Chain A
Amino acid sequence: MRLKQMFRVGTMIAFTLILSSILSLRAQDRVVVNFWSHDYPARVIIDEELIAQFEAENPDIDIVYTVGPGDDVLYITQLLTALAGGQGPDLFNVVGVGVPDLIPSGAVVPVDVSQFGVDDQQAIIDLYAPGVLDSFMSEDGTLFALPTELGNYALYINTALFEAAGLDAEADAPATWEDILELAEILTVRDANGSITQRAFDFPYPLADEFNSRVIVMGGMAYQLGDGIVADDNLTVTLNGPGWVRTMEFVRNYAANYGGPQMPSAFTDFLQGKVAMIISGSWFEGVVAANNPALLESLIVAPFPRWAEGLVNDGGSYLYGYGLYVSAQASPEVQAAAWKFVNFISSFPERYYTEANLLQPRLSLLENDEVVNASFAAPFLRDMVGSPSLPLVKGGGEGEAVLGRAIEAVTLTNRPIQEILDEVTADFQASIDAAQ
């Protein structure tokens, strides 16, 4: 009896050991890719569906998907802490300008062209609109990432407010910054005390509930006048050039007469029908749909305005990009599997645009008239070519905050604009110098 029991237990242990060995052997056959992304619910749904599809087509690869905070600062903190501790993901999505040191630090590896079925990276670059992948390249022109979202800003117009003012939004949409000033006279509504109750347009000032980027908007305005954020050496800050001074003069004048940072953010007031025009990204359509779907009925999008006088570069706003990067800490086989997955997931730009309002400017999307003409994509896509990418400057992650301080000083004080810009330029320069 005792022997029988011992035999039974022994058999069970042996069976368990054999089964776990088989399972672990099977697990060893599969390559596991840990993939992190920031939260953007509409995109996450598509990601999850495509991951399932990819795993079905590639049974030897497991994609373990982790969604981090939607706030870039929180997400980047988690990501970098994990990478620094050797516990980071193998593949991750991040906004390049938020981590300008990512490529120079050697934390990520170049795109593995072999996983894309092509001979060189140029074949991958040629899949996209010209120049749009610049912000994913190192200084020597090596490609390090592909976009999950590559965006710029355009002008959203509330046609109902135009009609109420006796205007035709299609015909009277402003093409220049000077046009915006003229329209401000017509579209700004004040109460009996002279307080503004409806704004024609306003800028993204540094306010708590303003989600649009100052660098993308004001940077684009200055770029049109010939000034970048940094010089071609990618080291010298040029925030105090004449193009920036003129841009800030425009902002100061506009804020003093037609809006300004003392008012609620234009972002929230546009959603409530109290601002006729704002500048934002393609994703803003989704924000409108979620917060005030009725507004979609009276929404059109026009290209980013240009300067009527003194235009040097006929570009739109700055381009920003969320890219898919592969960690240098991953093993070569995991890196290969990760790039294979990147090749797969970046082949659905139409889906990401139509279902999540995120632009991945592949030529296949640009040439898809059905999608482009049935949506707001056209002004964004047209403006992308010829527009500058936000520069990835080592130690230059503070650009948005620096410009925010400049805009506050411009709009809330009477200090000379040149003096303000010289000050923030020196501040930003010191930060960049310290990081070299």
Chain B
Amino acid sequence: MTTHAKPLIAPSVSRPRWRLSLFQRRNLWGLVFVLPAILFFAVFAYYPLARAVEFSFQNFNLLAPPRDVGWANYEFLLNNPRFQLILRNTFSYVVSFAVPVWIIGLMLALVFVQPFRGRAFYRTLYFVPVVLSETVISIVWRLIFHPEGMANGLLQPITGQSLPWLTSTTYAPLAVVIVSVWRVFGYYMIIFMTGLQNIPTEYYDAAKVDGATGVQAFRFVTLPLLRPTMIFVVIVTFLTAFQSFVYQLLITQGSPLDSTNVLGLYIYQEAFAHLRYGRAAAAAMILFAILLTLTLIQLILLRNRRDVS
């Protein structure tokens, strides 16, 4: 009698074409979930970016159809002394904004991580400017810097004269920096505080046992362990400073003699005041290149940090 043994494992049956494997189904569901976000970015970020790249090679005033001009907008900008001045102003603004923000933010954070009476009140007080509107702040500070305003009222006994805060190429950039720093240092103070609170106290205890002074503990414990926070703060302050334009627009309008004009304001003026969207787009691309470089530096620094860890 011949018997046919029943196979223990069913022979592989070819799956119908329309049926997906478990992994494929998972991937598909994943795609379905991220699709709204992809669409959102495609419509509101990537498409405008692509159009801006296209505009940067065109002359466009919104009225007549765009006209291709090749690299003319870039050539104009890179050879234009006024644009070069504005580019220098932008870098100068970024540094003179960012450095005080780091120093003031970190110093206040070091103060406010220590327990003392009224800490919450003072911390809130320093944070208040962050929640105020940039427009409101600009208008108020413009009044403060008015020739007969509060700044001169307070300083005149010391300086002996009324300082031209908004009409001098020396003081106007300083005035814009003062307003910008005043607005945000409270925010970075909180960021630094978070970083400081994440440093385990055992390290300080160990340093104390080893006889480290307060300065040495700060130099050899606080600063190295605060490095990720510091990298974040450095990059974010640079990125926001490069894009700054509200204070320059509302307080000085870039004057006098373009001393407070920065890339963000220049782009706004070219596009909306002078209706040169092509040149504005080219300037925006230059700003984009600067910001992209900064972001890449950030990624490299963070990766190096992870490698070290």
Contact = CB atoms under 8 A, between A and B. Distances in A.
* A complexed with B: yes
Interface of A: 73-74, 76-77, 80-81, 83-84, 99, 101-102, 105-107, 193, 195, 206-208, 261-264, 395, 397-398, 401, 404-405, 408-409, 412-413, 427, 430-431, 434-435
Contacts of A264: 146-148
Contacts of B146: 264
B275 A101 contact: yes
A397 B274 contact: yes
Given A208-B253, A397-B275, A401-B273, 20 more contacts: A80-B275, A83-B63, A99-B63, A101-B64, A105-B64, A106-B64, A206-B255, A206-B256, A207-B255, A208-B252, A262-B147, A263-B147, A397-B273, A404-B255, A408-B257, A412-B167, A430-B76, A434-B59, A434-B69, A435-B59
Given A206-B255, A263-B147, A401-B269, A99 B166 contact: no
A261 B255 CA distance: 11
B96 interface: no
Interface of B: 59, 61-64, 69, 72, 76, 82, 142, 146-148, 161-162, 164, 166-169, 250-253, 255-258, 269, 272-276
Contacts of A431: 274, 276
Nearest to A107: B63
A193 B63 CA distance: 55
Given A73-B272, A262-B167, A434-B72, A80 B62 contact: yes
22 contacts: A74-B272, A76-B275, A83-B62, A83-B63, A207-B166, A261-B167, A262-B147, A262-B164, A262-B167, A263-B147, A264-B146, A264-B148, A397-B274, A401-B273, A404-B255, A408-B255, A409-B257, A412-B169, A412-B256, A412-B257, A434-B59, A435-B59
Contacts of A398: 273-274
A216 to B, nearest CB: 17
A347 B147 CA distance: 46
Contacts of A397: 273-275
B256 A408 contact: yes
Given A73-B273, A206-B253, A398-B274, A80 B63 contact: yes
Given A264-B146, A401-B274, A105 B63 contact: yes
Contacts of A409: 257
Contacts of B142: 208
A398 B169 CA distance: 22
Nearest to A423: B81
A423 to B, nearest CB: 9
Contacts of B64: 101, 105-106
Those 9 A-B pairs whose CB atoms lie nearest each other, nearest first: A105-B63, A80-B62, A84-B62, A262-B164, A105-B64, A262-B167, A398-B274, A77-B272, A408-B256
Nearest to A263: B147
A261 B252 CA distance: 12
B167 A427 contact: no
A101 B147 CA distance: 39
Contacts of B257: 405, 408-409, 412-413
Candidate in B146, B148, B273 with the most chain A CB atoms within 10 angstroms: B273
Nearest to A402: B274
B166 A101 contact: no
A263 B167 CA distance: 8
Contacts of A404: 255
A435 B251 contact: no
Given A401-B269, A408-B257, A435-B61, A208 B166 contact: yes
B63 A405 contact: no
Candidate in A195, A404, A412 with the most chain B CB atoms within 10 angstroms: A412
A95 B2 CA distance: 103
A208 B251 contact: yes
A408 B167 CA distance: 9
A99 B275 contact: yes
A427 B273 contact: no
Contacts of B256: 206, 261, 408, 412
A349 B241 CA distance: 50
A83 B276 CA distance: 16
A19 B78 CA distance: 65
Contacts of A412: 167-169, 256-257
B275 A434 contact: no
Contacts of B148: 264
Nearest to B146: A264
Candidate in B147, B169, B253, B275 with the most chain A CB atoms within 10 angstroms: B275
Nearest to A81: B62
Contacts of A80: 61-63, 275
Nearest to B257: A408
A84 B272 contact: no
A359 B255 CA distance: 32
A76 B272 CA distance: 8
Contacts of B61: 80, 101, 105, 395, 435
Candidate in A74, A208, A398, A412 with the most chain B CB atoms within 10 angstroms: A208
Contacts of B275: 76, 80, 99, 101, 397
A208 B249 CA distance: 9
B137 to A, nearest CB: 14
Contacts of A193: 161
Contacts of A99: 63, 275
A179 B76 CA distance: 44
A81 B164 CA distance: 39
B304 to A, nearest CB: 44
Contacts of B59: 434-435
A435 B67 CA distance: 10
Contacts of B82: 427
A159 B161 CA distance: 31
A355 B252 CA distance: 34
A353 to B, nearest CB: 30
